[in-house]
Amino acid sequence: MKRRSFVKASMLTGSLTGLASMMTSASGKDFAKSSKPEFYELRVYTLKNATQQKLVEDYFQNAAIPALNRLGVKNVGVFTEQKPEGQTKLFAIIPFNSIKDFMDVTDKLSNDATHQQAGAAYLTAPASSPAYDRIQSSLLKAFAGMPKIEVPENKPRIFELRRYESATEAAGKKKIGMFNEVGEIAIFKRVGLTPVFFGETIIGEMRPNLTYMLTFDDMEEHDKNWKMFGSDPEWKRISAVPGYENSNIVSRITRTFLVPTSFSQV
């Protein structure tokens, strides 16, 4: 009788131990997915001249970034093109914890007297002398595999902004799955393709697409690490899986090299 009780207890203990192990493994695998993904507004300012560039940069440095920080919006990145063709465009990435935060920010900034005063030259620029030509704005949802922006070390560096367009929504989702579930993000990090953010464009141009940002010390490191990625055995394996070939799920890649402004928080 005692032996039967001991056997039952042992079996129960073993089952619970196995279940606990499975749960621990699953929770580790799904840790990133348990974090709520951020949302990003990606703005691209088209500028006609250096005067407009200064107006927009002054606005972000003296008005927008301080006001956004007061609202709890951190890690606002502002960049210019590394090698512009003519007048540079200005790129800004603004993270939000939720869609609601994104929706509320315009009203909150409008009611922030300090922001309005500090940004007056930009906010009230006359039609005869506008602060910019146009703003192109997209709303991105962070990937489950990297739900938060990761700010790199504060030192001289370059950034690469890449957009992958797909022929269909299904193909675009498959490419996102390649990053999230199949392991492409992990390969990036292992070979030195240091990501800052990954986002699926939910509102914006050229959909369906995903957009992400990488950072490097310089172009020499950029070229070396991309070469390492291209020859990585694990990348070769997953990119050859039927249905995951780039030719089937990515129709166009656009890349832009950027440098941070002196006041950028990324």
Residue 28: which pLDDT band, with cuts at 50, 70 and 90? Answer: very low
Task: Work out whether strand 209-216 and strand 134-142 pair parallel, antiparallel, or are unpaired.
Answer: unpaired
* pLDDT for res 29: 44
Phi-psi region of 152 (alpha: psi -120 to 50; beta: other; left: phi over 0): beta
Co-location of 162 and 214 in the same domain = yes
Q: Report the 10 Å Cβ neighbour count for 192.
A: 16
- Does residue 109 lie within any of the structural domains? yes
The predicted model gives 83-109 an average pLDDT of 96
Co-location of 194 and 255 in the same domain = yes
Report the SS3 class of residue 46.
Answer: strand
DSSP letter (8 states) at residue 156: S
The CATH number given to whatever domain includes residue 115 is: 3.30.70.100
Co-location of 202 and 221 in the same domain = yes
Instruction: With CA atoms as reference, report the closest residue to 210 among 259, 144, 150.
Output: 144
- Does residue 25 lie within any of the structural domains? no
**Per-residue pLDDT at 31 exceeds 70:** no
Number of domains making up the chain: 2
* pLDDT for res 220: 97
- Does residue 10 lie within any of the structural domains? no
Judging by beta carbons within 10 Å of its beta carbon (0-12, 13-18, 19+), is residue 62 exposed, middle or buried?
Answer: middle
Task: Work out whether strand 77-81 and strand 252-260 pair parallel, antiparallel, or are unpaired.
Answer: antiparallel
**What sections of the chain are H helices per DSSP?**
2-29, 31-34, 50-59, 65-70, 99-110, 113-118, 120-123, 169-180, 184-191, 219-231, 233-239, 246-249
**Per-residue pLDDT at 80 exceeds 70:** yes
Co-location of 156 and 227 in the same domain = yes
**Per-residue pLDDT at 126 exceeds 50:** yes
pLDDT tens by residue, 151-176? 999 899 999 999 999 999 999 999 99
- Does residue 21 lie within any of the structural domains? no
Measure the CA–CA gap between 76 and 196, rounded to whole angstroms.
12
**Per-residue pLDDT at 181 exceeds 70:** yes
The model's pTM is 0.84
Measure the CA–CA gap between 140 and 212, rounded to whole angstroms.
10
pLDDT tens by residue, 114-124? 999 999 999 99
The predicted model gives 27-41 an average pLDDT of 68
Co-location of 125 and 61 in the same domain = yes
pLDDT tens by residue, 223-236? 999 999 999 999 99
DSSP letter (8 states) at residue 65: H
**Per-residue pLDDT at 33 exceeds 90:** no
Q: Residue 216: which domain range? A: 143-261
Mean pLDDT of the chain: 89
pLDDT tens by residue, 128-137? 999 999 999 9
**Per-residue pLDDT at 30 exceeds 90:** no
Co-location of 46 and 82 in the same domain = yes
Contact between residue 121 and residue 67 where contact means Cβ atoms under 8 Å apart? no
- Does residue 7 lie within any of the structural domains? no
Co-location of 211 and 188 in the same domain = yes
Report the SS3 class of residue 114.
Answer: helix
The domain boundary residue, chosen from 140, 158, 179? 140
Give the angle subtended at the CA of 14 by the CAs of 9 and 16, to the nearest 5°: 95
CA dihedral (185, 188, 190, 192) positive or negative: negative
* pLDDT for res 34: 55
